[in-house]
Chain A
């Protein structure tokens, strides 16, 4: 599996990253190096191994349905660039 510069552009868009032409070339190269390295896993015979949904053998870690004090509104909004009537204000969406 290899990635093209087009794939990298798409990934950059998803991550809202603005990449220069040199960046794109560099990331395409390094991502392919990583994929090449991981490709060695394909040499293993995994026929008898259960597919893993999780890396750790944990299950059913629950909490009870009981209320816990959250953040005061002032604190919740402390990092918002703009606030109005207790709400986060965001610029035009579409």
Chain B
């Protein structure tokens, strides 16, 4: 048992799924040429005033409801003042004093233990622009390039209570948060495109004490796995500092993925943002009726769906957890099940082949060509014995890449399983001729020798023979 306890809180920024920005009609599309989605409002030109995007209010409130938050009946925006080149107005419009959502929670499971993590608040704010540094790193660059396409895109910042105790809990929290936001349709939650970003506040204290230690803020983590690793590294580092009799310095540290360490970026004394109420954007009043209208649009969430897959289809809890961790996967499962009513078989193929190929290629489900109808047809071919399970995997990969019907792939590649005894008779005769020792072994009572002979037939047919048929035919032949 460690003498120290880690205290971790996460700040997660999520880009909302809107067509246009928070206060102007510029596009939010990702990956366009620099400064082609800008206007006087998001460039902060003097005299410009934005108008609040209604969809943002609705998506933010939905996210809050899905995270079990209270929704503020009367909330507003504030200005957070600071200078940085990615912030064209010299202030960020955020919700400092009255967040749209507060006092929520989500439930995680780590090592078989359930834990509730409270959510302090979720508030709306605008994204700053994007900086690219001339020599790659801000520390060594003589100049930087600013792209304001992202400036003014709508974000919600979701702040957890400092109730996480390990990197693994932080990762589980993020996975659950991502799934809930995806199910609710409020965000694309693509970390690689920056639509979900996470900073971690980390401190340690002697186990069993209540006072908080000095915290550091960790940035620059580009995957959930990186968040876990960075927290684990930082906790160990802080414990070492304390064990050496030193003090942890309050600062912002950057995670270096290649070196696997955190490095000091800047010391962080409490900055003075001089926040005050934004008078150029109207306050938001959400009536009970409006909130209820939004509440009914929230679909079945991951935990409920997981329990349903276990209860209705008898899936193991583990399988159900994997499948419901992403909405697209859960929908794929349901659609396949409509056409092929064997839940466990489908889940085996999703967790085995589908996820293996997606992970290996770093792809999203939508980017592959596989369809639920296609998988169902493939499983029917295997069930009928037209192809073996092993050949099925080969067909699956072709479907994944080319999107053709499985029957067509089987035909084109000549993969059909040989169950025809006429075709097999000659091959079996040859195998018996070439392997007199195994034949003698089997005939003298060594049962396992049959396995070797079946294997030889399978090899000769490049895996296309039906092993059950081969086994029966061999036994019949050898008994003669």
The secondary-structure label for the interface of chain A is loop
Query: Which A positions have Cβ atoms within 8 angstroms of B?
Result: 10, 14, 16, 53-55, 58-71, 73, 76-77, 82, 84-94
22 contacts between A and B (CB under 8 A): A14-B274, A53-B76, A54-B277, A58-B282, A59-B283, A61-B281, A61-B282, A62-B51, A64-B55, A65-B19, A67-B20, A68-B26, A85-B34, A87-B34, A87-B146, A88-B148, A89-B144, A89-B145, A90-B85, A90-B144, A93-B84, A93-B141
Q: With the chains together, A93 CA to B283 CA distance in Å?
A: 35
Q: With the chains together, A91 CA to B142 CA distance in Å?
A: 6
The residues of A that contact B42 with a CB separation of less than 8 Å are 70
Interface 1/0 per residue, B25-37 and A, CB below 8 Å: 1110000011111
Nearest residue in B to A84 (C-beta to C-beta)?
A: B145
Are B143 and A70 interface neighbours, CB within 8 A? no
The residues of B that contact A14 with a CB separation of less than 8 Å are 81, 83, 272, 274
Are A59 and B284 interface neighbours, CB within 8 A? yes
For A86, give its contact among B33, B83, B279 (CB under 8 Å).
B33
Q: With the chains together, A93 CA to B132 CA distance in Å?
A: 11
Q: With the chains together, A93 CA to B53 CA distance in Å?
A: 32
For A61, give its contact among B26, B51, B277 (CB under 8 Å).
B51
For A77, give its contact among B27, B35, B141 (CB under 8 Å).
B35
Are A65 and B39 interface neighbours, CB within 8 A? no
Minimum distance in angstroms from A85 CB to a CB of chain B? 7
For B145, give its contact among A71, A85, A94 (CB under 8 Å).
A85
Q: A62-B52, A65-B20 are in contact. Are A70 and B26 (CB under 8 A)?
A: yes
Are A94 and B282 interface neighbours, CB within 8 A? no
Minimum distance in angstroms from B294 CB to a CB of chain A? 14
Are B282 and A68 interface neighbours, CB within 8 A? no
Are B54 and A90 interface neighbours, CB within 8 A? no
Minimum distance in angstroms from B186 CB to a CB of chain A? 13
Are A76 and B285 interface neighbours, CB within 8 A? no
Nearest residue in A to B278 (C-beta to C-beta)?
A: A54
Q: With the chains together, A66 CA to B283 CA distance in Å?
A: 21
Interface 1/0 per residue, B133-156 and A, CB below 8 Å: 000001101111111100000000
